[in-house]
Structure 1
Amino acid sequence: MSYDISIWSVNKTSFENEIFNQENIKRQNEGIIFEGPNFQIMIGNSLEVMEEDIPEEVVGQLPGIKYFTEIILEPLGAPKRAFQILKKISKILAQSSHGIIFDERGTISSPTGVKRLETIKVKDDPDCLQMTWWFMKDHTFIKDDFKAFLEFIESTLPEALPRRYGIYEPPQFKLAEKGKEHFIQFLSEHIHEVIVWYPSKPFTYITIQIPPKIGATREGFRASYITMEFLEEVMNQPGWPTELKRFWLKASDQLQPFYGEMRKAKFSIGDTWWRGFPKKLGNAAVIGKPYIDLWPEFTKEAKQTDSGLFYIENIKKDYQDLHSIIAEVPEDLVQLKTKKKHSRNWPFEGPFLKYKK
C-alpha cells in the first residue's frame, strides 16, 4: 500500500530545485523516483487537466488551476524520515508551480508564498475591466435561477459575493449575518430598484438590473443586465486570467445572453436599454439567439460554449481587443449614436411599442 499526494497548480511543476539533483534520484520519462532506505517516492510529470477533472474540494482554492502532479510514497509504513522528505518535496513542487497540496485524507494545504490573491494597493482611479451580459429573462430569474448563479459565484469567485447589500449607501445588510437566502429574498423584493452590492477585491462593482418589462416598450427595447467590474491589475496575478475566462464562459451558459462581453470599464456600453452592438468590441464577446443567424462572420471565427453560444475571447495577461481576430461589427447591427434609434438590422419585436389612440 502507498500514501498518495496530489498537487493542483496553475503552472507545471519543476524539478529544477537542488533536492532533485541528488544521487538517489532516478529520472524517467514519467517523472522521477526518490529512493531511500526502505522507501521510495515516485513523482509524476505535470499533466494538464480539464476543469471538470479538478476535485470538488479543490475547486475555488486557487484561481486558474490547470495542472495535476501525483506523488506516491511506498510503502505506507515507511519510516518517519520518508514522510518528512515527502512533505518537503511537496512544498517545493507546489511553490514552483503556484499550487496547493491535496493528500489522500482530504487535507488541503498551501505552501508559503502561494496565495489566492496577492495584495492589491488601492488607487484613486484604478483601471478596471467589466464582464457584462444582456439576456431576456424576467423577474422569475431571481426566483428560479439566481440561487444557482449565486452558488456558482461562491464556488468559483467568492470575492464577488456581496459583503454588504441594500438599496442605499452605505448598504445596511451584511451577507455574513443575514445569509444567502435573505439576500435572494431582498433582491426579489427590490428587483426593479438599483441594488447596492459591495463585493471584495479584486471586484469593485456588481449590479443586476431586471426591468419591469422585458422587450419592446414605449421608450425602447429593454433587457435584463448583469455587470461585474474588477481591477485590471488582477490579470497580472497567477491563474486569474484563466479563472475569469472560465467564469465568463460558464456564467454565459447559465444566463443565456443574446450578447455578452468583457472590456475596459471606461468604455462601458452597459444599461438595460438595448439598441444594438457596440461599434468596437472589447476583449471578449459571446452571442446567442437571435444574433447567431445575423452575424455569420462571427460564428465562423468563434468557438462554442457547452450550451451552444458562440464566443471569441482574448482574455489573458497580454490581452488585446478582438479586432485582431475578427473584423469590425457589421454596420447594420451597430447601435446608432442617437439614443432613440436602434440598429438597422433589428431581430426583436418593436423596438418601440406604439401608443394606443
Structure 2
Amino acid sequence: MSYDLSVYAVTPLGFDELLALVRSTAGLDVDGEPSSDADSLMVMRGARRAYCFTIDGPFEVELEDVPEEVTASVIGAKAVYQVLVEGSEETSIPHAVKFARKLAKSAAGAMLDEQSGEVWPKAKGSRVTRPREASRATELVTVNFYTETGKMPEDLPGSYIAAARKYLPEALPRRFGSYEPLQGKLERDGDQAFTDMWRSDPTHSLYLDCQYPVGFGVLSGSKENRPIGRTSLRFDGAVLSNPGWLEALRRFFVAFALESKSFFASVEVLRNYEWGTRSYKWSPGQEKETWPIDGGEWIGLVPYPQSWTWFGPDQISIVSPHLTGHREMHGDRLFHVLAEQPVDRD
C-alpha cells in the first residue's frame, strides 16, 4: 500500500533548497547525508526518526502530460515531484500532504492527490490576475481558425473544449449562446450542452464569454450557408509577457488547428485598443483587422505579415518558397512562426 502525491512545479527547487525545505518543517529530517545528485530523499519524522515519506524528483514534464486539473490551477509546469508514503504508515499521510503543499507553494506549482484527484490550490477561474484599472490602453490579440464547412468536425465544440481544458482554460466559455443574453453556462450545463446548442442552431454562430485575459470567442455554425467557417478568440495582449501562458497558447493553437481541420489559421496583434473591467473596448484610432474571407468565401491571404500562421496541404507548396522564420510540420500541415512572441504587423 502506498499513498501518492504529485507536485507539479513551475520553478523546481535546487537540491539544497529542497533539503532546506524538509529540514525547516517541524519534526522532519532526511535519512543520512544524501548526495546532491540523488533524485530521491527518504524523509524521517520525530525523535525516533521513523520513516515518514519519500520524495522523488524533480522530473521534467511536458505540457501535454500535465493533468487538466493541474493546468486549471497553474501556468507553465516544468517538472513534477512524487511524494510517496510507502508501506502501511497511514499516520504519515497527513505529514506528507502538508509537506507536498509546502513544496507546491515554494515551487509556484500545485499538488495533485492521486487517490482523490483533488488539486491544491484549487482553481479559481482565470490563472492570470485581472488588472484593476477600469480602462487602460493595450494591444488586442486575435486568433482565427478557418475550416471548410463540408470538412468541419462533427463535434467542433467538443474539440474546442478539449484543447482549451488541456492547454488554455481561460478560453473555456463561462457562458455561451447564439444571441444576447448568452443562455448557456458551462459549469452548470456541462460540455454536452455546449455541443448540443451548436448543433441545435446550425445556421448561426455560437458566441463565447470567457475568462480574463480572453474576452470573447465565436464558433461558426455547423451548417452555415457559406463554404468556410471560422473560430475566433480575442484576448488582452498584456498577457503575452507571461512565458508560461504564451507557451500554452502555442500548444492550444496547434492542437485546435489540427482538430478543427483548419486549412488556415493566424495569430496577430492589433494596436490602440482599450481593456475595460471585463473585456476589450472599441476606441478611436484602433488598428483594423483584414479578413481572408468575405461572406464565408475565401478571398486570399492578408497583405501584411502575421506573427503565427497555419497552412493546410493545398497551400504549403504555394507559400513555402516565400516564408522566413521558424517552420514546424505537423503531419501534412505547416505551423509558421515569424515572431516567437506575437508582435504587431510592423
Q: Same fold (TM over 0.5)?
A: yes
Equivalent of 1:208, from 199, 214, 219?
Answer: 219
Moved more, 121-130 or 86-95: 121-130
Equivalents in 2 of 1:149, 1:112: separation in Å? 25
- Alignment correspondent of 2:300: 276
SS at 1:128 equivalent: strand
* 1:256 to 2:261 alignment: yes
Equivalents in 2 of 1:178, 1:20: separation in Å? 44
- Alignment correspondent of 2:233: 228
- Is the 8 Å Cα contact of residues 62 and 115 (structure 1) preserved in structure 2? no
Could you tell me the TM-score, scaled by structure 2's length?
0.73
Equivalents in 1 of 2:252, 2:260: separation in Å? 12
- Alignment correspondent of 2:173: 162
AA aligned opposite 1:213: R
Equivalents in 2 of 1:62, 1:226: separation in Å? 26
| Cα shift readout 1:161-192 (whole Å, capped 9, x = no counterpart) | 43334444343554555555454444345444
SS at 2:173 equivalent: coil
* 1:291 to 2:315 alignment: yes
Equivalents in 1 of 2:112, 2:184: separation in Å? 36
Equivalent of 2:102, from 72, 86, 92?
Answer: 92
- Alignment correspondent of 2:58: 46
Equivalents in 2 of 1:320, 1:238: separation in Å? 12
- Alignment correspondent of 1:220: none
SS at 1:294 equivalent: helix
Equivalents in 2 of 1:12, 1:265: separation in Å? 36
Q: How does 1:33-182 map to 2 (within 5 A)?
A: 33-36=42-45, 37-55=49-67, 58=70, 60-77=72-89, 80=91, 82-111=92-121, 117-121=127-131, 123-124=134-135, 125-138=137-150, 141=152, 144-153=154-163, 155-156=165-166, 157-175=168-186, 179-182=190-193
Structure 2: which 5+ runs fail to align? 272-286
The structural deviation recorded for 1:105 is 1.3
Equivalent of 1:19, from 18, 21, 29?
Answer: 21
Equivalents in 2 of 1:97, 1:51: separation in Å? 16
More strand by share: 2
AA aligned opposite 1:47: F
Structure 1: which 5+ runs fail to align? 215-222, 329-357
Identity of aligned residues (%): 20
- Is the 8 Å Cα contact of residues 310 and 334 (structure 2) preserved in structure 1? yes
AA aligned opposite 1:302: R
Equivalents in 2 of 1:183, 1:286: separation in Å? 26
| Cα shift readout 1:41-71 (whole Å, capped 9, x = no counterpart) | 3323322223443346545443433322122
AA aligned opposite 1:204: G
SS at 1:212 equivalent: coil
- Alignment correspondent of 1:7: 7
Structure number with bigger Rg: 1
The structural deviation recorded for 1:101 is 1.2
Q: 1:47 to 1:182 in 2, by over 3 A?
A: closer
Q: 1:196 to 1:113 in 2, by over 3 A?
A: closer
- Is the 8 Å Cα contact of residues 102 and 108 (structure 1) preserved in structure 2? yes
Superposition RMSD on alpha carbons, in Å? 3.6
| Cα shift readout 1:266-318 (whole Å, capped 9, x = no counterpart) | 4533363333223433332221121111123449941122x4321134786xx
The structural deviation recorded for 1:94 is 0.9
Q: How does 1:188-207 map to 2 (within 5 A)?
A: 188-193=199-204, 195-207=206-218
